[in-house]
Amino acid sequence: MKRFFALLLSVFLCLSAVGMAQCVLGVEANGPDEATKSAYTWRHANVYPYYASKGFTVVEISQSSAAKVETALSQNAVTHITGCGHGSPTVYTGYGQATVFSTSNTALLQKLAGKYIHVLSCLTAQQLGPAMISNGAAGYAGYYPSFYFTWKSTARFFDADAEMDRAFAEGLTPKQAYQRTINYFNNIMEILKTEEPDAVRYLVIDRDGLRCFPAREEDSEETTSVMPLEMASHILFAQNPATRGYLTFAEVQNSPTLAASFSTMGDADFKALTIAAYEKCPRDFEVGILSYGRIHRDQIIDEITQGTALGNSFVQLEKTFLQTVSETRWSKSITVTTDANGGIVAADKFDVPMTITTTGAKATWSGTPSKFTSVTFALNNTTVYSGEVANGTTYKVSKQVKSGTCNYSINAAGGPKNTQVTVTIYFNLGR
């Protein structure tokens, strides 16, 4: 009898292990265009190994078609689907833009029931993603507008998008995965502010265009737009009515009597501002659009000048970006390293391009412990926070800082030893 129960238990454990097994199906276009080939090269080296590290069986279709997907679904217990391909509001395509998923093929969509789906593709969040959810998919993540990236920072953009894959691989819900991915986009933005400031506008468009279902909007945490403080001096925002020259966002904030704004400009003037913004970019600046391809700076300027559909899309992108800028919160990141005792003694300064009011600050790091036992944080010789600090928690910090130079000091104890810590300060405008 004991032997029988032992055998029964063994069978039960084996069945449980099979039930818990997870399989990710890669549905990649991988060409023949340069954009999806580049995406697949990066994702093959970075996304699928991550799924494998989390115990997933990985089935990659490197040049996908509907028939290949149907076969893979019939032969594997697929739990997750991911991939990069071209898209439209109703269609996701594979190799050579052959239709893979579409709103009209409900038979295939029904086979996605219970699965988590993430596609790096333009426009599919408009109708295809909701159709997948209505046919039973457990989750869908994708983009409402086109997905833009710069060729110099291709890996940064693909890495930002791949945070959704990493979150799904770790078992997060769509709501949790969305919030984590948005935060990761913001982290990448901090890197781009120094590596390639001209790329930030596209990262903002992609971040704000990301959708993740079935998490309802009212269930999601508020995700206000955040932008690195340094970008305020980089973004052309308006036209000086007296000189007809262009003003950055910071210059507008420092000259309120001008009452200048992109929103008051006529179509011709705003078109000229958009051209001026691209003329500021380096000569070798190139943009990629998953639904279009690779475009050089000079071609962008020419398309805008000629008023083509592509050129008009860049003008609209700039208007959307500047609208986001006008409503954004601002942030400044400071990186410090703890000593062998888990302490910090740091002081320095940073430039403030316009008068701002701090609203909060948080510290993030990897490793343990999960908090500092005591932290004193000062701005311009005024202590704005004193107490313990938990990893990733935002604390209220209120102080007006006028344009110019801001001094800061951080004194902390009882934290992780020999560890890099990022302190992020959040601001609103304030004169």
* Spatial distance between the Cα atoms of 188 and 200, rounded to a whole number of angstroms: 9
Query: For the packed helices 174-195 and 200-209, what is the interaxial angle rounded to 10 degrees?
Result: 170
Which tens digit of pLDDT belongs to each residue from 292-316?
889 999 999 999 999 999 999 999 9
Question: In the chain, which stretches have pLDDT less than 50?
Answer: 1-19, 217-220
161 and 247 assigned to the same domain? no
45 and 137 assigned to the same domain? yes
Place of tokens 């953009």: 157
Within 90-242, residue ranges assigned H as helices are 106-110, 128-134, 154-169, 174-195, 200-209
Q: Would residue 289 count as lying in a domain? A: yes
| CB-based contact 356:430 (threshold 8 Å) | yes
Q: Are strands 356-364 and 394-401 parallel, antiparallel or unpaired?
A: antiparallel
Residue 142: closest CA among 166, 117, 167, 160: 117
For 106, phi then psi, to 5°, come to -70, -25
Model pLDDT, residue 33: 92
Place of tokens 């055998």: 7
99 and 247 assigned to the same domain? no
Q: Would residue 388 count as lying in a domain? A: yes
Q: Would residue 359 count as lying in a domain? A: yes
Structural domain that includes position 190: 20-217
Q: Would residue 147 count as lying in a domain? A: yes
* Spatial distance between the Cα atoms of 342 and 417, rounded to a whole number of angstroms: 4
How many Cα neighbours within 13 Å face the side chain of 91?
A: 13
| Number of domains comprising the chain | 3
* Spatial distance between the Cα atoms of 416 and 422, rounded to a whole number of angstroms: 13
116 and 235 assigned to the same domain? no
Model pLDDT, residue 431: 56
Q: At 190, which CATH number? A: 3.40.50.2300
Q: Would residue 403 count as lying in a domain? A: yes
Question: In this structure, what is the dihedral angle of CA atoms 7, 13, 15, 21, given to the nearest 10 degrees?
Answer: -150
* Spatial distance between the Cα atoms of 262 and 411, rounded to a whole number of angstroms: 42
Model pLDDT, residue 242: 83
Q: Would residue 14 count as lying in a domain? A: no
| CB-based contact 368:416 (threshold 8 Å) | yes
255 and 364 assigned to the same domain? no
Q: Which helix (H) or strand (E) holds 10?
A: helix 2-20
234 and 368 assigned to the same domain? no
Cis status, amide bond into 49, omega within 30 of 0 = no
Model pLDDT, residue 264: 87
* Spatial distance between the Cα atoms of 316 and 217, rounded to a whole number of angstroms: 25
Q: Is the pTM of this model over 0.85?
A: yes
32 and 128 assigned to the same domain? yes
Which tens digit of pLDDT belongs to each residue from 211-243?
999 865 444 455 678 999 999 999 999 988 888
**Domain end residue (candidates: 182, 217, 252):** 217
207 and 285 assigned to the same domain? no
* Spatial distance between the Cα atoms of 163 and 180, rounded to a whole number of angstroms: 7
**Domain end residue (candidates: 292, 327, 362):** 327
Largest CA distance in the chain: 96
Residue 334: burial class (beta carbons within 10 Å; 0-12, 13-18, 19+): middle
196 and 258 assigned to the same domain? no
Model pLDDT, residue 429: 87
Give Cα 276 to chain centroid, integer Å: 26
Concatenated DSSP letters of 214-251: SS-GGGSPP---EEEGGGGGTSEEEE-TTT--EEEHHH
Q: Which helix (H) or strand (E) holds 407?
A: strand 404-413
Q: Which helix (H) or strand (E) holds 388?
A: strand 382-390
336 and 412 assigned to the same domain? yes
Q: Would residue 237 count as lying in a domain? A: yes
**Domain end residue (candidates: 217, 245, 269):** 217
